[in-house]
Structure formats: C-alpha cells, structure tokens
Structure 1
C-alpha cells in the first residue's frame, strides 16, 4: 500500500513533518505526537496516575472533559511566566545555562577572587607547607579535616 496513493493528505503532512510536536525551539527536540499527548496526560494526572482516575468517576470525567485544556494552560503559564518575567521560557533559549549574563558575571567574580588569592598568597601548587588551605577564604583547614583528607585513600570502602 502506497501512502501517497491511498491517503495523499496524510502523505503531505508526513512530508512536512506534521507527525511530530516541537515542545521547545531547541534543535533536535521534536517528539512524536503520541508521546507529547502522554506527557500532557502525565501533567494533568499528577502523582495519582491513571489508577486514581479510574477509581474516582468524577475525577475521570473531569480529566476527560478538561484534561487537554489544563495541559495547554500549564504549558502557556510555563512559557510566559517562569523565566524571570521576560516572557521567554527557558526552553526557548538555545544557549547553555552557563552562557547567561548572570552566570558569566558570577564566573568573572569567582575567577577574580581566585586570581587575587594567587597574587596575595602565591601559587598554591608551589606551596611547600603542610597546611591545607581554603583558597577563596584564605583559611587554614582544621587539623582533623587535614588528617581525614590525607587518609581518605587508605580507608576501606
């Protein structure tokens, strides 16, 4: 049976990739329609799952009538409200989470603090003392902690 001959409308949709759902704008994030439907069902059902729905006729009726609409509303809320009020959901951001402005500022501060410690105290890899130093706070670790760290490899698992 040839799809193009038997069902030309469906063949056109398949060629347009109309059999998948894009839940994000990320590359390679398309999922099959039935999988998207199952994910929406999971959102609506919550923790109780299908067993809870089947045991409660009112809950089952409510889910049958309004389930997909509730899933749509939840998705709309997540897209519009959960990314700092910018109106863009984090799922539409194609950058890695460490490539955001706030992550870069934090990294810059941490690198600056580390460089400052190196400049003030010297290169820790050239350190000859027996003390265990906490680099960013410039504290000398407690002797009990030092002993624990030094004996960690000899301890049984």
Structure 2
C-alpha cells in the first residue's frame, strides 16, 4: 500500500501485523498436512481470493498509468496463482505421484513468475509515483 496509496503505516501497525502473521503461521503450520483439512484449506483459498481482489485493483492501476503490458502479465500470473491455490487444496491432479511432483513443478514456476512480475510491476508503479511527484526544488535528505 506504500506504492499504490502512498500509505505509511505506524510502527504499531507494522508490529501488530507481524505479530498476527507470526501467530497465524504457527497455528496453521502446526497442522498435519498429509490429510485434507477443509477449514484451513478454505481459509487459505479465501485469503488467496482477497489478495487476488487487491491485485486486480493493482492491475487496474497499472493499466491507468500506461503499463499495459505489465498489467496483462500481472493479471495472468495472479490467475495462475489462484488456480494453483485451488488445485492444491481441493482438486489434486489425479495423474501426479504421492509427492505431487508435477503440481510442485507448476507451483514453483508460477510463484517464481509471480515474484518477477510483481517486482517489475511495483517498480513501474513506484517510478510513476516518483515522476509524478518530481519537483526541482524538492530537498531530499537521508531521512526523507
């Protein structure tokens, strides 16, 4: 949200979000993942869909600033990531082995593509924000 809305959270918000994420990680990470747990699986998919909504907004913002190619790639990898999330929890590939080798190959490829595309997209948004705020008399210091 720093890049998309120029929002700077307070230290309390950052510490609180980190604390909630840490507790959630311990709770959800301690489950036995060899069997399907519908509750946690549903939670993961719902969180993915909420993230997808934010990313759809971000794609729209990229389109508005003229980064249409990056917007298309961001939409594509977001859809692929959602497909991977739903496939893992609810529709395992019937032709995959017990270690899910084919699934994890597709998932790691998707996640790598997401990392690269989102990095480039956020960099484009950041560069746009910097150029929109550029003023010749602006004083820049180490603390600004």
TM category (shorter chain) comes to under 0.3
Question: Does 1 or 2 have the higher relative contact order (CA < 8 Å, sep 6+)?
Answer: 2
**Greater helix proportion:** 2
Question: Could you tell me the TM-score, scaled by structure 2's length?
Answer: 0.24
Question: Could you tell me the TM-score, scaled by structure 1's length?
Answer: 0.23
**Greater strand proportion:** 1
Q: Which has the larger radius of gyration?
A: 1
